[in-house]
Structure 1
Amino acid sequence: MSNSKNMMMDLERMASSDRAAWLKANGNYIDFTDSYSYIEAAHRIISSSELNQISNSSAVYESIDLAGLKAILSNSHGDFSTFTYDYYSVISFNGSRQLQISMTDTFDSRRTCYSIPLFRSIVAGFRLTDSSMFEFASVVIDGVAKIIFRIIDGNKYVYYNFSDEPR
């Protein structure tokens, strides 16, 4: 029998400026398996207004399969098997509208940063395989340009956005 005790931390109650530092400092103590549903839900787009804006946009999606995403992350100092917030993927499009993925060790709210635990939570929750596709696009939501991505779940898309603070 273990003497360890679990504790829940509501990151929404923490100042957004403190979240990245807290996640990095405490990543080794987070039970990611139990946290996956919360991580995934924090990024899922569920607002009907936002979903309508996405549907009505003329966004062009750039696709990458999970195996390709893992390879890019691995080649950029990322490790898809990690359970920590030591690195974030930075998603952008170049002038030719080609998807660009790199890694950074610092969360930056001015760039589109996704954590590896977010990708892992989606992979686990939807039982994705290496051939499953992630589709990224730049869209305007409520007058602000954002990079979103989507996956297909059965016969419908599930959409995700970046957050201004890590979750």
Structure 2
Amino acid sequence: MKKTILFLFLSLVMVGCKPSNDDPNPSQPGTAATANPVNCIDLTDYHTKVTQEEKAEWLRKNGENVCESVLFHEIEGTHLISNPEEIEETVGTTGLKMKWGEIKNFIGTSVYNAYISFDIDPNRNITGIKMIPKFDPKTTCYSLPLFRSIAAKNTLKDTDLFEFKDARVGTVQTVVIKVSNSITAAYYDYSDEPGTIPFRSAL
């Protein structure tokens, strides 16, 4: 009888100590708990920088530590063209279409240690995309997180398209990004920050 009671007691202890598979706060690498660390930072210090070169340097050093939700929200809003009717596509030129899955594989997991730029021939046809090592305010280039923020905002699948088109927006000749899924389309360019002279943003 005593042995039976002891066995039951030990069984209850072992069950009580068994780790649960329903832990709401997993801590294994790659899980939600580690993918969005509690100590991630915002962009307050970034906004104290004056020039785009200073901002680009700050992003190069700190961009991977910025909370993804904060970064994506600011980037997507900075580059979104709120009035697509202002876009004047360059007549007679050929743009470039790429699937989100292709771009995702091309940019990998890099953050701000490179930017996307374009191969443009003398007739303003866009013939390809390329990586450049750093932000250049004199060149049409976009940050890698911009593409991730666009994909997240527009719920893009790997088969959804990015279209790159040579165009004039206001007084600036640039490469406009058009993205479309089965429901909507959106346009992005160098910057659409209200109240500022158009410039190429390092975000």
The TM-score, its normalising length taken from structure 2, stands at: 0.66
The answer to which of 150-159 and 3-12 deviates more is 3-12
Partners of 1:56 and 1:101 lie apart in 2 by 19
Cα separation, 2, equivalents of 1:12 and 1:153? 33
Task: Give the match's secondary structure for 2:59.
Answer: helix
Indicate the residue corresponding to 1:123 in structure 2: 151
Q: Which residue of 1 aligns with 2:63?
A: 27
Structure 2 residue runs of 5 or longer lacking an equivalent are 1-24, 26-32, 192-199
Counterpart residue type for residue 163 of structure 2: E
Look up the match of 1:89.
116
Q: Could you tell me how far 1:33 is from its partner in structure 2?
A: 3.7
1:76 maps to none
- Structure 1 residues 1-167: aligned runs within 5 Å: 5=39, 7-10=41-44, 11-15=46-50, 16-46=52-82, 48=83, 51-54=84-87, 58=91, 60-71=94-105, 73=106, 79-82=107-110, 84-95=111-122, 97-163=125-191, 164-167=200-203
Tell me if the contact between 2:88 and 2:167 (Cα under 8 Å) persists in the aligned partners.
no
Greater length-normalized contact order (CA 8 Å, ≥ 6 residues apart): 1
CA distance in 1, matches of 2:38, 2:126: 47
- 2:21 is matched with none
Which is strand-richer, 1 or 2?
A: 1
Check 1:133–1:4 CA distance in 2 against 1; reply closer, same or farther (3 A cut).
closer
> Matched residue of 1:95: which SS?
coil
Shift in Å, 1:165 = 2.7
How far the C-alpha of 1:70 sits from its partner, in A, is 3.3
Q: Would the aligned equivalents of 2:81 and 2:189 in 1 still touch at CA under 8 Å?
A: yes
Number of residue-to-residue matches in the alignment? 157
- Alpha-carbon distance between aligned partners in 2 of 1:159 and 1:91, rounded to the nearest angstrom: 17
Aligned AA (1:124): A
Gaps of 5+ in 1: 74-78
Q: Conserved in 1, the CA contact under 8 Å of 2:76 and 2:149? A: yes
State the secondary structure of the residue aligned to 2:130: strand
In structure 1, what is the Cα distance between the partners aligned to 2:175 and 2:133? 20
If you compute each CA radius of gyration, which structure gives the higher value, 1 or 2? 2
Counterpart Cα distance in 1 of 2:169 and 2:130: 24
Write out per-residue CA displacement over residues 102-127 of structure 1, whole angstroms, 9 at most, x where no aligned residue. 11111111111111111011112222
1:13 offset after TM fit, Å? 4.2
